[in-house]
Amino acid sequence: MTSSELWTRATADRYDAEEGERSSAAFLEPTLAFLADLAGDGRALEFAIGTGRVGVPLRERGVPVAGIELSEHMAAVLRRRIDEDTLPVTIGDMATTVVPGDFTLVYLVYNTISNLLTQDEQVECFRNAARHLTPGGRFVIELGVPPLRFLPPGQVAVPFDVSEQHLGFDTFDLVEQILVSHHFTRDGDDDRYRRDHSRHRYAWPAELDLMARLAGLELERRVADWSGEPFTENSAKHISVWRKPT
């Protein structure tokens, strides 16, 4: 067990509905094209595969996919969509769990590396990715850039969503690099809101590059989104690709 917080059955059961827009074919197309191109004729391994939002359509695209998932509840939702022989999933943490075989691609999407709450565990995640990669294989991470530029002196919270159905804001511990995402989600058409929160360890791109070097990986490219837009000082997130030397 790592420091990652476990997803509960209730959270797993409503996850796909709450992420409906991000699960649409139009939204996922650039992601799937990017990952399929890197996988080539090889196999892909998704760390923290969750309910299969990305892994299942990538498998349907013809890429052999396996997954590692800490939450049995999330994996159970995935299993309703696809069988074990078609997309095998191992229950375990992404920092230490090893699955059989070699892969041309290991990937982590939607800020998931931040679920590991210590720097040591994030370093081990890179090492675990390198352990699974064939020479020349790639490790891909999608991760937001910490929005600390929006924090004036004395402020510890940054809103990231204000809509009719959802209010969301992050609070920051600047010493430990821990952010807590707070969610107030409207249930149905009444005025009642469900409150949830989750903890994450944020990391800067340069910090991730050093983790990659410790794992024997080299930065190949960094872009601002799955469509390949250039990464700049104003980018809200990055897609980073590290390569295992041949």
Judge whether residue 1 has pLDDT over 70. Answer: no
Span 7-54, pLDDT tens digits = 777 788 777 777 777 889 999 999 999 999 999 999 999 999 999 999
* pLDDT given at position 67: 98
Span 114-164, pLDDT tens digits = 999 999 999 999 999 999 999 999 999 999 999 888 888 888 888 888 888
Span 179-234, pLDDT tens digits = 999 988 887 767 788 888 889 999 999 999 999 999 999 999 999 999 999 999 99
Rounded Cα gap, residues 1 and 14, in angstroms = 24
Span 57-112, pLDDT tens digits = 999 999 999 999 999 999 999 999 999 999 999 999 999 999 999 999 999 999 99
* pLDDT given at position 14: 77
* pLDDT given at position 185: 86
DSSP per-residue codes, 165-226: SEEEEEEEETTTTEEEEEEEEE-TTSS-EEEEEEEEE---HHHHHHHHHHTT-EEEEEESST
pTM to 2 decimals? 0.92
CB-based contacts of 39: which residues, under 8 Å, 6+ apart? 58, 63, 104, 105
* pLDDT given at position 156: 82
